Structure 1
Amino acid sequence: MRARDLPSAIERFLLSPFSLLLAVAIAFVLNAYSLPLTDVDEGAFSEATREMMARGNLVSPTLNDAPRHDKPILIYWAQAVSVSALGVSEIGFRLPSIVFAVLWMLALYRFCARHADRRTAQVAALVMALSLAVGFVAKAAISDALLNLFIALSMFGIYDYFCAERDGKPAGQTRRLLFYTYGMLGLGFLTKGPVAVFFPLLVSGLFFVSAGAWRAWLRAIFFWPGWLVFLAIVVPWHVAVYLDQGDAFFRGFYLKHNVNRYSNTFEGHGGKWYYYLVVLPFVLMPFFGWLLAIVGKLAGRLRRAPLGTMRGEGLFERFLLIWFVVVFAFFSFSGTQLPHYLLYGCTPVFILLAKYRPDFERRWLAYMPLILFAVVLAALPEILTFAAGKAGKPFEKTLLDGLVVAFSDQARWLLPLLAVAAIGLALWRSLPVWQGLLLAGLLQAVMISAIIAPRVIGVTQGPIREAAQVARDAGGTVVAWRIIMPSFSVYRQAATPTRVPVEGELVLTRTDRQSEVQALLAPGLRMNNLYQKSFVTLARVEREGQP
């Protein structure tokens, strides 16, 4: 093949189904079946599902035998189905997220194909699959892939309803769209509560009013058969959990994890109004520069869409932009801020990037954020070595020393490859920008899934998995002291309460807190270490002088 024909071959590959399959295999699946569950979130969701199945109570999740009110039930049911088929394993708990992420991607593809074209749909699906944050939630045993699927499906149903009203479609078709949308709202609510309904209602209201279609919006809002569908999905489990627990879930979830989480900082996850301005480049990496490159083109398109009319150009883009801005603004003023919250508003960004993909314009602006990110990754071994030398706390020092060793192998020369490739693609002036960035996205996904994640998770979670196996083989009662690692309970397949141990029990604690546990033991008792590695210690409490 001649060099000048290579860009055409790359385009054919990127627009073929094989590129989507490759993106899913690398970003969603690679190593999801083998890497240890991460704490706290993956471990907490997985252990709650395991305990729910072990107790035979499919209504009220618990975590280490204490009620867990963080989320509604749907993700636990999905994980329970998967674990029933695949067993208590990493892939058993993660498979639902992989499946939901693929469905999210396919829904995005179909929506773009309806309202744009198939080339745009293909590129949007690739951008989504290869974005850094999507890759993380797609292979994590948490609820975010499922929630993003239902938020996206709800929003897609809303815009389809708008188009049906605008185009004068038969009443039967608009009613079917409303039934469908309310169904998605109900499933989203059963996944994460009010947030799955709040954003679709607010975004749809702003959009319909801006398009002069407020009457159509009111007809949708007061479509009582749709609300019956919503209630039929949501109410039965809420009644069941009330009968099982009383009002504990309602106080714990709706008051603590919704109202209080928004107004106050939870678990140290506070931020500033500019938090998501800093986070957005990493969430979209390697495509943030792509977004910068198309801002002017997108702004020009929106100026041609006059407010207050259901006709005219730019309505599709306006809907997508309102969707993103509402999510971005809402969480920017939240008391609790986490990077993955922004994903609820990133589906429209994936579509806008695909619709306004740059060919040869603003090339270096499109590539520069990726190059800077890749340079940081290339310097990661040196950064870790420097941080380890500065660490003062024993826990931090132990982790960083472990990471330094983990990245001292072939990773030292593998990590710079992304920076070299990014610079090379930027210099390849005959290759369209969007194609080069998608190729870089595939390489970034390989770098994260095959090089960085195994080393980081191996150091931070590997000892927990090993300690759990030792504890399971040793048998007896196991407790934890000042260490929050729910994945330990998953691997041990038994709940691990937190308290001071007594004679004959095993205790899991951080290595730097072993002396603290010893000081709390009754006189004449000592800790006999069964396992100690990195920051993890597992010991049996025995009588002094006992062999």
Structure 2
Amino acid sequence: MNNYQSVRQNALIAFVVILLVTLIGIYFRPIMIIDETRYVSVAWEMWDKGSFLVPLLNGEPYHHKPPLIFWLFNLDWLIFGVNDISIRLIPMLFGLGTLAIVYKIYLALWNDDQEGAAQSIVVTAGTVVFAFYNSLIMFDVILTFFVLLGIYHIIKATQNPSRYHFIMIAVAFGLGVLTKGPVILVHLLTFMVFSFYFMKNRLSKDFYIKLVLSFFGGVLIALAWAIPAGIAGGEEYRYAIFFGQTANRMVNSFAHQRPLWWYLVLVPLLTFPWSLYKPFYTSIKKTVFDQQLKVLVGWLLATIVIFSLISGKQVHYLMPEIAAFSLVFTRLLTSSASSQQISSKMVGYSYILYGVVLVALPFILPKTKADMTFEPDIVAFLIAAALICMAGIYLIRKKFSSQQKMITLVSLSTVLVVFVTHLPIHNFLSQLDMSRFSKSIAILQEKGIPVLHYKKYHDQYQFAGRLHQPLIVVYDNKEIDNYIQKNPNAMFITYEKQKNMQKVNQDLIIEKTDFKGKYALLIKAKDYKNLYKVSSTK
């Protein structure tokens, strides 16, 4: 097989993996609360109110995220009409673009290793966490594309400092900021530190001036939105987008606080299934680390350390590094290629272990204290367990004649991992669809009946119900009573845990839906004090 055929074959395999994982997500999952529903609802409010400069959440300026993904959703709706399917393909498109950039980065680092570059595409697509996030309405796969785009052009600029590469660095940085804020600097600056440190040839003063100008150009791209948005959104919104969010997240994150060692423990999961591939570890001992590998390994480790020092931690914060891990993994394997037959027993054993867990879960879950609003589908759990166990047995017994064949099969098995994760909980996932509940709210609003929401509202009903008015958020009984006096026909949304539902007067419930292990309840606002049989107050 020549190099062109190898690249085409690997690109096709990677495309199939990402596409199937995305379709599995679309088929099994509604838009998930709270994050996905929030982001789609923000885009919906922009569309509904024509507020394309300032994102809105429940009618108020939304400063937690920049607008690029919301603009993309609005562009999608302009082309295909308002829907919840085509927008879920947008992260996937950036994921496919990321695969192309991974290939180009590999060749930029090792231009004589076409085979390794082709394999890096499949390794990236076959990393379970990366593949899975292509099916989510999140910012991180999009950010990953811009991070790796910037890294590619930084590498190329050191090899050939043409104007084009510096312009593209500016574009990648600017659009990365518009995707998720200045956090892209953590990824790019860390890479540059290691890249310039290990570089054999010293760069000219002119190079650094152009590089600084590139980042300044990226800042101008971001400011082209931020300045007019800050003026239009008001003083509080202006302060939040320029200072508040970045400072709060970096110094003392208000959400997702985790211990210092959290990412270190999760590394095997973040790089699964390749973290369980034994030849990868034997190749570390055999490989002489060249300049390029030192840069990549230093960048990956340093970034993990930096994000570990930030109090707020989530798996997807390291998505660019998860994708870039494939470069190190593939290069190490191709640098120490073995002529012996290859196996992937540890991956197979992990699949069998997962199958055992799937068999046990439907029997263990009902005996735990966890709030469950669904009945486990035992048959679905057993089918999923059987499928993943059969894949595990095959991988244990199979001997591969080449790294390419092994990588291809393990990468394709990622689709199965995602499928068997969704299948057993299909009935739980289906109950998370809030369309009916949200449409009941829309009908009330169309009749001119105001709807109150008890405590913090995450905008979860705006898009699902295509609501045109915000909900009225109330925090205590006094606020509720004052509003009822002015609007005796007002409705009220509150939440209750499943274990407390026996205390609830069921006759007062007009509509209910599952909500993160609880039930969202829609009642008449004037009945809120009578909702509980035991107590007259919430």
Alpha-carbon contact 2:102-2:120 (below 8 Å) kept: yes
Q: Where does structure 2 lack aligned partners over 5 or more consecutive residues? A: 475-479, 528-538
TM-fit CA distance, 1:190: 1.6
Distance 1:264 1:425 in 2: 45
The amino acid across from 2:396 in the alignment is A
The 1:348–1:21 alpha-carbon spacing in structure 2 relative to 1, beyond 3 Å, is: closer
Residue number in structure 2 paired with 1:219: 207
Choose the corresponding residue for 1:36, options 24, 30, 37.
30
The 1:465–1:213 alpha-carbon spacing in structure 2 relative to 1, beyond 3 Å, is: farther
Residue number in structure 2 paired with 1:297: 283
Alignment of 1:19-58 (within 5 A): 19-32=13-26, 35-58=29-52
Residue number in structure 2 paired with 1:263: 251
Bigger drift between 344-353 and 333-342 goes to 344-353
TM-fit CA distance, 1:484: 5.3
Choose the corresponding residue for 1:331, options 307, 310, 313.
307
Residue number in structure 2 paired with 1:353: 329
The amino acid across from 2:296 in the alignment is L
Alpha-carbon contact 2:153-2:168 (below 8 Å) kept: yes
Bigger drift between 96-105 and 462-471 goes to 462-471
Distance 2:405 2:471 in 1: 50
Residue number in structure 2 paired with 1:481: 454
Bigger drift between 155-164 and 463-472 goes to 463-472
Q: Where does structure 1 lack aligned partners over 5 or more consecutive residues? A: 1-10, 165-172, 304-313
SS at match of 2:137: coil
The 1:474–1:259 alpha-carbon spacing in structure 2 relative to 1, beyond 3 Å, is: closer
The 1:444–1:378 alpha-carbon spacing in structure 2 relative to 1, beyond 3 Å, is: farther
Residue number in structure 2 paired with 1:125: 121
Alpha-carbon contact 2:42-2:55 (below 8 Å) kept: yes
Distance 1:296 1:443 in 2: 23
The amino acid across from 2:518 in the alignment is F
Residue number in structure 2 paired with 1:462: 432
Alpha-carbon contact 1:26-1:446 (below 8 Å) kept: no
Distance 2:311 2:96 in 1: 31
Alpha-carbon contact 2:358-2:381 (below 8 Å) kept: no
Alpha-carbon contact 1:203-1:323 (below 8 Å) kept: yes
TM-fit CA distance, 1:147: 0.5
Bigger drift between 324-333 and 216-225 goes to 216-225
The 1:397–1:225 alpha-carbon spacing in structure 2 relative to 1, beyond 3 Å, is: closer
Distance 1:431 1:422 in 2: 18
The 1:362–1:283 alpha-carbon spacing in structure 2 relative to 1, beyond 3 Å, is: farther
SS at match of 1:155: helix
Alpha-carbon contact 1:83-1:89 (below 8 Å) kept: yes
Matched, 1:471 2:441: yes
TM-fit CA distance, 1:505: 3.1
TM-score (norm 1): 0.81
Cα deviation 1:229-264 (Å, max 9, x = unaligned): 324312211111121123434533454432222322
Distance 1:435 1:541 in 2: 62
Alpha-carbon contact 2:31-2:433 (below 8 Å) kept: no
Bigger drift between 201-210 and 237-246 goes to 201-210
TM-fit CA distance, 1:77: 0.9
Alpha-carbon contact 2:450-2:490 (below 8 Å) kept: yes
Distance 1:132 1:79 in 2: 25
TM-fit CA distance, 1:89: 2.7
Cα deviation 1:152-198 (Å, max 9, x = unaligned): 0011111122233xxxxxxxx53322222122111111211211123
Choose the corresponding residue for 1:540, options 501, 523, 528.
523
Alignment of 1:418-497 (within 5 A): 418-432=388-402, 435-449=405-419, 452=422, 455=425, 458-459=428-429, 462-473=432-443, 475=445, 476-482=449-455, 486-494=459-467, 495-497=470-472
SS at match of 2:524: strand
The 1:131–1:74 alpha-carbon spacing in structure 2 relative to 1, beyond 3 Å, is: same
SS at match of 1:204: helix
Choose the corresponding residue for 1:245, options 220, 225, 233.
233
The 1:440–1:496 alpha-carbon spacing in structure 2 relative to 1, beyond 3 Å, is: farther
Alpha-carbon contact 1:31-1:450 (below 8 Å) kept: no
Residue number in structure 2 paired with 1:410: 380
Instruction: State the identity %.
Output: 16
Choose the corresponding residue for 1:161, options 141, 157, 178.
157
Residue number in structure 1 paired with 2:274: 287
Alignment of 1:28-177 (within 5 A): 28-32=22-26, 35-114=29-108, 115-116=110-111, 117-164=113-160, 173-177=161-165
Distance 1:56 1:351 in 2: 43
Alpha-carbon contact 1:36-1:457 (below 8 Å) kept: no
The 1:176–1:262 alpha-carbon spacing in structure 2 relative to 1, beyond 3 Å, is: same
SS at match of 2:510: strand
Q: What's the Cα RMSD here?
A: 3.5
TM-score (norm 2): 0.82
Alpha-carbon contact 2:251-2:310 (below 8 Å) kept: yes
Choose the corresponding residue for 2:260, options 261, 273, 285.
273
Cα deviation 1:488-545 (Å, max 9, x = unaligned): 22101124343248443333333439989x99x9xxxx9342345683344230767x
TM-fit CA distance, 1:415: 2.6
Distance 2:356 2:8 in 1: 26
SS at match of 1:356: helix
Distance 2:401 2:462 in 1: 51
Distance 2:272 2:366 in 1: 27
Bigger drift between 91-100 and 12-21 goes to 12-21
Distance 1:37 1:338 in 2: 19
Cα deviation 1:65-99 (Å, max 9, x = unaligned): 23221111211111111122233332233222121
Distance 1:465 1:283 in 2: 33
Alpha-carbon contact 1:34-1:90 (below 8 Å) kept: no
Cα deviation 1:305-341 (Å, max 9, x = unaligned): xxxxxxxxx1221222122112211112211111111
The count of corresponding residues between Structure 1 and Structure 2 is: 502
Distance 2:389 2:361 in 1: 16
SS at match of 1:415: helix
